[in-house]
């Protein structure tokens, strides 16, 4: 009798195991990202996927690229259609809408169960939505200054350390080189065309240095302060005087800088690989930005959708755990050429490989210490509308030559109205 029971038990176990194996062999996790094919960080994602597939035989990750410009639409459509990707990759300024709809799984039970230590994890506070952790931060960055040493030397300028020095250097290096009436070389470079998010990041170089913030730590709008008015005046000076090329996307401006057409550029870690491929690579040096604090902020997050089955959720969590492991966070520094968010990552190899790396770490720490984020507290859910409004009012200030004080008052009023929606 016992032998018979044991035989049945063994047969059941074998059947269950084979079913599970067959199931696992067919398991495909969908992962949509805009960073696929990106030099550096794209390679790092590929290494995470490879490591995951090796440690989970039979589970494959179907990695699909969606362009950043179409990303919000695609993800919204996928979620709204009840068919979200298993591994959710979102920008840190857009996940809030998804979390607010209840589409992102609270991660606190997973973090607790797996004892994942996120203490000191850069930008992780941003992932807390309605008192629940809904994502893990994958990058927090700080801006550094890259400058073209030759262009500064030609004008007898040293590396600027204050806004006044920066403005002087930008004015002196903005030139029409062949006298045809067209400016061929610019003092600095900012994106003045495209999305509101990037536009306000560019503006923040000046508003932060002037001591201004969009909102205070309680989420109260603080745009009509003297500091913000000063910051807006600085932005107007730079753009109105054509010290930056006009109507260019961020990518075009970076390429112009890498090719030696711009003297000074403040940007994040992603600028470094572009410089390395540019014509002026040997003339470009780096330093801390001449502004205090530097622009910084959270960049992108990983999350689990609520709409997938329990087994998939478990697998996605394992993927997140792997991506946040000390080992892969260390390779993030070398492959991604950016400071990883993990405080435990070993960045010695990255420092040895990239002479700029120490500066990136310093810039990130300075921005984090000053609690800088391009997503203002209290306006997270309306960030897209807010950034678009700020961009339009700033453009109006420049096009119609308006007084920054009046513009700040309009921005204040509109931002408060957005908060009350």
Partner 1 sequence: MKPRFSLDLARPSRRHWLGYLLLAPAVLLIGLIIVYPLIVSVDISFQNVNIARLDQPRRPFTTANYERLFTSADFWNAAWVTLKLVIIVSVFCFLLGLGTALLVNNKFKGRSLARLLVALPWAVPEVIAVVIFAWMFDSSFGLMNWIFIKLGFIDTTVNWFSSPAAAFMVVCMTMIWKGYPFVSIMMLAGLQSIPEDFYNAARVDGANTWQRLVNITIPSLMPVLGVTLVLVMLWVFRDFSIIYVLTGGGPLKATQTLSIMTYEQAFGFFKMGYASAIGVVTLIICVIASRLMIGRAPDNI
In the complex, which residues of this chain contact partner 1 (CB under 8 A)? 72-73, 76, 79-82, 97, 101, 180-183, 186, 192-195, 245-248, 382, 384-385, 388, 392, 395-396, 398-399
154 or 388: CB nearest partner 1: 388
As measured in angstroms, the least distance from the Cβ of 224 to partner 1 is: 21
192 or 324: CB nearest partner 1: 192
How big is the chain, counted in residues?
A: 421
Q: Which of 33, 114, 122 is nearest to 78 (CA)?
A: 33
As measured in angstroms, the least distance from the Cβ of 203 to partner 1 is: 15
As measured in angstroms, the least distance from the Cβ of 130 to partner 1 is: 16
246 or 371: CB nearest partner 1: 246
As measured in angstroms, the least distance from the Cβ of 180 to partner 1 is: 6
121 or 383: CB nearest partner 1: 383
| R_g over Cα of the chain | 24
114 or 413: CB nearest partner 1: 413
Q: d(Cα 230, Cα 131) in Å, to the nearest integer?
A: 35
As measured in angstroms, the least distance from the Cβ of 252 to partner 1 is: 9
As measured in angstroms, the least distance from the Cβ of 98 to partner 1 is: 8
38 or 392: CB nearest partner 1: 392
């Amino acid at each position: 009798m016992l032998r018979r029971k044991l035989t049945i038990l063994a047969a059941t176990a074998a059947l269950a195991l084979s079913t599970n194996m067959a199931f696992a062999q067919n398991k495909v996790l969908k992962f949509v990202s805009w960073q696929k094919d990106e030099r550096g960080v794209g390679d790092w994602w590929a290494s995470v996927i490879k490591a995951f597939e090796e440690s989970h035989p039979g589970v494959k990750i179907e990695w699909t690229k969606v362009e950043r410009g179409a990303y919000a639409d695609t993800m919204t459509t996928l979620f709204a259609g009840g068919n979200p990707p298993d591994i959710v990759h979102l920008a840190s300024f857009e996940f809030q809408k998804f979390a607010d709809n209840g589409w992102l799984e609270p991660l606190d039970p997973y973090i607790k169960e797996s004892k994942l230590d996120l203490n000191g994890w850069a930008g992780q506070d941003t992932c807390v939505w309605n008192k629940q952790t809904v994502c893990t931060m994958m990058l927090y960055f700080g801006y550094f200054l890259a400058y073209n040493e030759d262009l500064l030397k030609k004008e007898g300028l040293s590396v600027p350390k204050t806004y006044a020095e920066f403005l002087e250097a930008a004015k002196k290096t903005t030139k029409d080189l062949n006298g045809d009436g067209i400016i061929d070389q610019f003092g600095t470079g900012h994106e003045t065309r495209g999305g509101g998010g990037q536009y306000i990041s560019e503006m923040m170089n000046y508003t932060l240095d002037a001591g201004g913030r969009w909102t205070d730590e309680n989420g109260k709008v603080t745009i009509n302060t003297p500091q913000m008015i000063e910051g807006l005046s600085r932005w107007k000076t730079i753009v109105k005087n054509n010290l930056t090329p006009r109507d260019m996307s961020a990518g075009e401006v970076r390429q112009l800088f890498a090719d030696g057409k711009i003297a000074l550029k403040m940007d994040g870690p992603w600028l470094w690989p572009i410089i390395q491929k540019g014509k002026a690579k040997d003339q470009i040096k780096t330093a801390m930005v001449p502004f205090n604090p530097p622009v910084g902020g959270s960049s992108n997050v990983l999350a689990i959708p609520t709409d997938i089955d329990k087994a998939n959720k478990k697998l996605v969590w394992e993927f997140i755990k792997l991506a946040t492991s000390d080992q892969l966070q260390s390779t993030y520094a070398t492959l991604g050429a950016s400071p990883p968010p993990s405080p435990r990552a070993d960045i010695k190899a990255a420092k040895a490989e990239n002479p700029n790396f120490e500066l990136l770490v310093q810039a990130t720490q300075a921005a984090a210490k000053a609690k800088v984020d391009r997503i203002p507290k209290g306006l997270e859910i309306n960030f897209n509308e807010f950034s678009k409004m700020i961009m339009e009012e700033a453009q109006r200030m420049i096009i119609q030559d308006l007084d920054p004080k009046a513009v700040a008052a309009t921005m204040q009023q509109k931002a408060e109205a957005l908060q009350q929606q």
